[in-house]
């Protein structure tokens, strides 16, 4: 079991402003090894903005994000080596085949592209390896993107709406994967509009109205 006191991601006094609107302010939390964290809030409350801040893609108006007690900006390369971020858009190129898309993404993140064919079978895309992504459904695009999770060695997973266009069996498979990743000492930070079918003591929540850690 992971050491539950090992802080992987810490948010300190985070404030996010878009235009003249404060999305959230003075948000504080600590995400430890073994945590599965759901970011919740209504549409427009800043869930995606918070994930992008945690990834270092967007700077907060105020506050700071730490990875293992060090500012993420102080060693951005090391942080990104320990991070897997999958945004709301699948990032799939229509002119490339399913396997080519996954091989490209695995190589881009320093993973073994030779695992692509096997990994596609993990997301029920066996037989679609050579199919152009432009001929595949939105759910199949999403599965190509999520296939990286099965090869990732990064301890920090940050996922924006990973269940979008995924069927019930696919959701169950992902929830099992999240639980296994947490048990190995990683953490999962995600947004979703649905309840997670995981024991309540395994899931922490960050609300953009208030933090209930």
The answer to whether residues 149 and 164 belong to one domain is: no
Shortest CA distance to 93 belongs to which of 61, 133, 58?
133
Are 73 and 5 part of one and the same domain? Answer: yes
Whether the pLDDT of residue 9 is over 70: the answer is: yes
Whether residue 149 sits in one domain with residue 159: no
Q: Give me 45's structure tokens.
A: 């409350």
pLDDT of 3 above 70:
no
Structure letter (DSSP) for residue 57: S
Q: Is residue 101 part of a domain?
A: yes
Mean pLDDT, residues 139-164: 92
From 107, 131, 153, give the residue that closes a domain. Answer: 153
Residue 183 placed within a domain: yes
Per-residue pLDDT reduced to its tens digit, 49-106: 999 999 999 999 999 999 999 999 999 999 999 999 999 888 899 999 999 999 998 8
Region 103-119: mean pLDDT is 84
Q: Report residue 104 as tokens.
A: 């490209």
Structure tokens at 17: 């402003």
pLDDT of residue 1: 44
**137 and 209, same domain (yes or no):** no
Q: What is the pLDDT at residue 112?
A: 81
Q: Is there a contact between 113 and 100 (Cβ–Cβ < 8 Å)?
A: no
pLDDT confidence band for 5 (50 / 70 / 90): low
* Residue 9 and residue 75 share a domain: yes
Q: Which structural domain range is residue 206 located in?
A: 1-82+155-213
Sheet holding 187-191, edge to edge: 83-86, 156-160, 187-191, 36-40, 203-207
CA distance 16 to 80: 22
Count: domains in the chain: 2
The pair of structure tokens assigned to 19 is 């235009």
* 47 touches 58 (CB < 8 A): no
Predicted confidence at residue 111, as pLDDT, reads 77
Spatial contact of 146 and 84, defined as CB atoms under 8 Å apart? no
Residues 146, 165: one domain?
Answer: no
Domain annotation covers residue 87 = no
Q: Are residues 50 and 13 in the same domain?
A: yes
- What average pLDDT does the structure give for the chain? 90
Q: Do residue 61 and residue 159 come from a single domain?
A: yes
């Amino acid at each position: 079991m992971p050491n539950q006191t090992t802080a992987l991601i810490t948010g300190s006094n985070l404030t996010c402003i878009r235009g003249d609107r404060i999305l959230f302010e003075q948000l504080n939390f600590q995400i430890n090894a073994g945590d599965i964290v759901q970011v919740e809030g209504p549409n427009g409350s800043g869930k995606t903005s918070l994930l992008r801040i945690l990834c270092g893609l967007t700077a907060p108006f105020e506050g700071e994000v730490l990875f293992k007690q060090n500012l993420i900006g102080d060693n951005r390369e090391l942080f990104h080596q320990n991070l897997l971020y999958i945004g709301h858009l699948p990032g799939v190129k229509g002119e490339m085949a399913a396997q080519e898309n996954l091989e490209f993404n695995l190589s881009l993140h320093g993973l073994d592209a030779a695992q692509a064919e096997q990994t596609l079978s993990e997301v029920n895309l066996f037989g679609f390896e050579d199919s152009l992504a432009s001929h595949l459904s939105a759910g199949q695009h999403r599965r190509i993107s999520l296939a990286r999770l099965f090869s990732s060695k990064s301890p920090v997973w940050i996922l924006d709406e990973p269940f979008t266009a995924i069927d019930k069996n696919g959701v169950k498979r992902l929830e099992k994967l999240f639980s296994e990743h947490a048990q190995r000492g990683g953490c999962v930070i995600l947004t979703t509009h649905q309840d997670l079918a995981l024991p309540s003591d395994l899931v922490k929540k960050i609300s953009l109205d208030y933090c209930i850690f």
